[in-house]
A = this chain, B = another copy of it.
Amino acid sequence: MIAPALTKNQSLVFDVLVRAEQPISAYTILDRLRDHGFRAPLQVYRALDKLTEAGLVHRLESLNAFVACAHRNASCCGGHSHGTVAFAICTGCGQADEFHDHEIDHRLTVWAKARNFRPEKTTIEIRGLCARCAA
């Protein structure tokens, strides 16, 4: 992965996401960075675009929120960048658990190949209650 160094804004946004430890919206990020000079949504969205491109951040479609990648140091599947990532999102506490399943990945690939569908980005999100919140 040839990742260029992060710019100042990108670092600030990434830092907020890492500290959050759970998905947060772009506007929440904006609010947390007002003291650092952020004034407009675009400053956040532009940084998020680059960070997601670089694989450092994931967007959760069912939440309209963003989360720092939990597999930054995993070597599985080349830092999971070659595989599809899935999330289990607790509607109780907001925690999002990132995981990867080869077999699911494989099945989706097979489906796509059989239909000459060329996948670009795959979203897998399970919403529900985590063990603690379901108890």
Contact = CB atoms under 8 A, between A and B. Distances in A.
Chain A interface residue bracket vs B: 20 to 34
A97 B128 CA distance: 25
A115 to B, nearest CB: 6
A123 interface: yes
A35 interface: no
A104 interface: yes
Interface stretch (A12-20, A38-46, A48-56, A106-114): A106-114
A127 interface: yes
Contacts of A104: 103-104, 107-108
A77 interface: no
Contacts of A123: 61-62, 123-127
